Amino acid sequence: MERVVVHVDGGARGNPGPAAIAAVLTTPEGEMLESERQVIGRATNNVAEYEALLLGIDRAKALGAREVELVGDSELIVKQVKGEYRVKDAGLQELHDKVRTALRGLERWSIRHVRREHNADADRLVNQALDEAAG
């Protein structure tokens, strides 16, 4: 698998609160490759968004992707990863560094922001994980 598109989302109910992450991996043509969701315990929305990026990058690498297009609905996180915004929070800085390190293993990567409705599959998986965890 040469090139993979990875839609990621993370969310917390309460901020911080119970949190979950999801990654949906497709071909550039939109063919579904895999999806994964995880409950990550108590976290903020921003921590969950970063954890979702790490999950997505990890899954793409596991599929053998050399080029990854990351798609997320958190404008803050996208702009921080692009280097357009500084990361001021110490906890987020550590996660930001982990994402940048994970991206170094790829030949090419990009990240772009979309509105939530254009990230519906990943958003739905996050909510399913949170609903299941709440019982």
Per-residue pLDDT of the chain (135 residues; tens, 9 = 90+): 799 999 999 999 999 999 999 999 999 999 999 999 999 999 999 999 999 999 999 999 999 999 999 999 999 999 999 999 999 999 999 999 999 999 998 999 999 999 999 999 999 999 999 999 988
Residue-range domain boundaries for the chain: 3-129
The CATH-assigned architecture of domain 3-129 is: 2-Layer Sandwich (3.30)
pTM, two decimal places: 0.96
3-state secondary structure the chain: CCEEEEEEEEEECCCCEEEEEEEEEECCCCCEEEEEEEEEEEECHHHHHHHHHHHHHHHHHHCCCCEEEEEECCHHHHHHHHCCCCCCCHHHHHHHHHHHHHHHCCCEEEEEECCHHHHHHHHHHHHHHHHHHHC
